[in-house]
Amino acid sequence: MPGTFITVEGIDGCGKSTQLSILARKLREQGIDVVETVEPGGTLAGREIRAILLDPRQHALNARTELLLYFASRAQNCAEVIAPALARGATVLCDRFTDSTIVYQGAGRGVDEATIRQLHQIACGSLYPDLTLLIDIDLETSLARALARNAENATRETRLEEESHAFFERVRDGYQRLARAEPERVQVIDGRASIEVVAERIWSVVTHR
């Protein structure tokens, strides 16, 4: 497709959403057609699915059910938002994509990666990001930021944040493995600095590409 597909990844509290918004603004200032979306979510159906996935009352949600719900949201987002935007030549910025499933459900929960990639093929076809910005922070910073965010916003999207420290260690390790396996696509950004510094690091990577 003639457009460009950029995803932003990282553990909770890394600043993905903030940095995606800043990047979108900077790209628009350059006259670029930008579409912002999020996974899970991004469509009406996706937002309904997101509400289930992140509801802390869903503590009994089976790992396979969780996996299929994520891809149901992603399939709709690809069909309704991402693919049409790329087809017209837009730059699509997506907050999380299949890399999140590989590390959260794969590395975190132990779901076979081959199964995840098969489901990606069914849900998304051959659509993969052209560039992935992985904002990396340590687990202590992640937890502190997530707790502060939830307290400030009174959000109910806390189901995953109730997982163990060991779970998030596996997730962060999974991200690091992805970055080592695909260094051209997955660019690691140190997210421990100020918002402005992290934004400049991201802008440097994007403009270099």
Query: What CATH number does residue 145 fall under?
Result: 3.40.50.300
Predicted TM-score (pTM) above 0.85: yes
Whether 67 contacts 119, CB under 8 Å: yes
d(C-alpha 143, C-alpha 12), whole Å:
7
Mean pLDDT of 82-106: 98
Q: pLDDT for 51-69, tens place per residue?
A: 999 888 888 889 899 999 9
Is it true that the peptide bond before 183 is cis, omega within 30 degrees of 0? Answer: no
Output the average pLDDT for the chain. Answer: 92
Instruction: Give the number of domains in the chain.
Output: 1
Residue 112 gets which letter from DSSP? -
**What phi, psi does 4 have (nearest 5°)?**
-125, 135
Q: Can you state the angle between helices 165-181 and 139-153, rounded to 10 degrees?
A: 110
Mean pLDDT of 111-127: 97
Range of the domain at 18: 4-208
Query: Is residue 60 exposed (0-12), middle (13-18) or buried (19+ Cβ within 10 Å)?
Result: exposed
Worst-scoring range by mean pLDDT, 35-39, 84-88, 142-146, 165-169? Answer: 142-146
| 179 CB neighbour count, 10 Å cutoff | 18
Is residue 29 very low, low, confident or very high in pLDDT (cuts 50, 70, 90)?
very high
pLDDT of residue 206: 97
Is residue 133 very low, low, confident or very high in pLDDT (cuts 50, 70, 90)?
very high
Whether 6 contacts 94, CB under 8 Å: yes
